Amino acid sequence: MPARRLIQCLALIVTVAVTGPTPAGQEFDTFLIDLQERTFQFFWDTANPKNGLIPDRYPTDAASSIAAVGFGLTTYPIGVERGYITRQEARERVLVTLRFLRAARQGPDAQGTAGYKGFFYHFLDMKTGKRAGDSELSTVDTAILLAGALFCQSYFDGADAQEVEIRRLVDDIYRRVDWRWAQPKPPAISLGWSPEDGFLKYDWRGYNEAMLVYLLALGSPTFPVGAEAWTEWTSRYDAHWGTLFGRDFLNFPPLFGHQYSHVWTDFRGIRDEYMRRRGIDYFENSRRAVYAQQAYAVANPQRCQDYSARIFGLTACDGPADV
């Protein structure tokens, strides 16, 4: 399964929660259990065992997506808990990945580096780990990578020398990310940077998957951004608030925008000023988004094949028109 389709698995898992028991419930549970294991196996089987890098898509040749590496790091402890692999196997794979990331060359050069200022390029060569093509230094994809690494840091909490090393490496990788440098027009954080053109035109504002960027930037132990950065992030929320299929919520059309940050953060009961004013939290907002997506799939105004109450929420992915 392509890494870019991971969110489809998350959407299907949410489907169980929102639709409740059905006569075919046991059959569907079995399907989800199988889907979870096959999703794990994608990351485990396609990673380069020498550096831990994971391809953006499969089976066609592809560069590694640094975000896919973050999701992969997240799946390894889950694989231990599900019994797919041993804790030792997971430790060794995590260490291979983190050692590579920590040692990978950083710098402003257009070629021969993996990143700059602690951030990583969106795509890296699967073998060399160096920048692939003219990909950008990506703040959001780096954030997904960091979230996966921090998840491993929390999970591998033992006194074993390998687990101690995991925690140290994650500290090193997170602490060197210079979030303030990524604010060329403060207090907003830029989408990214390239050696050829400098910072990208746009900054992260509004509501989308980049909530994670601001959370990690605010919490940085070395280069934290100020609280005004969050205010800037939420400054355009009103443009995204609306009623869809009978539900009022802060909308972002692709479902991954409502789910990515929730992979690592439990937003239940957490409210900023904007959400307090609306009387909900971000978890409830995402729940409403899932219901609205499901209702859209049932209505199926564009007559898409197979859309239904149980098949919905497809977002960024390869399709039949892609070569």
How would DSSP label each residue in 19-61? H---TTHHHHHHHHHHHHHHHHHHHHHHS-TTT---BSSSSS-
Our CA dihedral for 173, 126, 42, 115, rounded to 10 degrees, sits at: 30
Ordered structural domains, the chain, with CATH? 3-299 (1.50.10.140)
pLDDT for 94-153, tens place per residue?
999 999 999 999 999 999 999 999 999 999 999 999 999 999 999 999 999 999 999 999
Q: Using the predicted structure, report yes or no on whether residue 23 has a pLDDT greater than 50.
A: no
Band (318; pLDDT cuts 50, 70, 90): confident
What is the model's pTM? 0.90
Q: Answer positive or negative: Cα dihedral of 101, 104, 107, 113.
A: negative
Band (304; pLDDT cuts 50, 70, 90): confident
pLDDT for 29-77, tens place per residue?
888 889 899 999 999 999 999 999 999 998 888 999 999 999 999 999 9
**Buried b / exposed e across 254-264, counting CB within 10 Å, b at 16+?**
bbbbbbbbbbb
